[in-house]
């Protein structure tokens, strides 16, 4: 997916948080940006720059896909995060926001 498609997919998020129930990183760390809802909304809000905390939150996704089946909106959460990781790594967009 390109960035426009990633944003379009992420914008389906209604912020219900059902995905967090299944997420192993969220269960361990208990901070929103370490869960699927936080990651998807970081992608939705992405303005070309990413703070260090947001970068760490996105890059710690294990791609286990446990969240995918939980989402009532049917967002391909793991795929969006995976493709966004590729996007920011290709362009070296990380830790560049104060």
Partner 1 sequence: MSSSLADLRKTLGEDKVVTDPDILRIYARDPASFEFELPLAVVYAESADDVVNVVNYAIKNKLYITPVFHSTSLSGNAATVARNTIVLSSERMNKILEVSDVDWLAVVQPGIKIDEFNLELMRYGLQWPVDPASSKTATVGGSVINGGGGVKGAK
Residues that bind partner 1 (CB under 8 A): 14-18, 20-21, 30-33, 37-38, 41-42, 45, 50-54, 57, 97
> Minimum distance from CB of 38 to partner 1 (Å)?
5
> Minimum distance from CB of 97 to partner 1 (Å)?
7
Residue 65 or 72: the one with the smaller Cβ distance to partner 1 is 72
Residue 1 or 73: the one with the smaller Cβ distance to partner 1 is 73
> Minimum distance from CB of 37 to partner 1 (Å)?
8
- The DSSP line for the chain is --HHHHHHHHTT-----GGGGT-HHHHHH--GGGSHHHHHHHHHT--S---HHHHHHHHT-----TTGGG-TT---HHHHHHHHHHHHHHTT--S---
């Amino acid at each position: 997916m390109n960035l426009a498609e990633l944003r379009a997919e992420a914008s389906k998020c209604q912020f219900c948080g059902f995905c967090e129930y299944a997420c192993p990183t969220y269960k361990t760390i208990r901070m929103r940006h370490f869960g699927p809802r936080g990651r998807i909304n970081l992608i939705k809000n992405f303005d070309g720059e990413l703070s260090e905390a947001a970068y760490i939150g996105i890059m710690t996704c294990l791609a286990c896909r446990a969240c995918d089946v939980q989402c009532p909106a049917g967002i391909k959460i793991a795929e969006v995060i995976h493709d966004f990781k590729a996007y920011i790594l290709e362009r070296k967009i990380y830790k560049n926001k104060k």
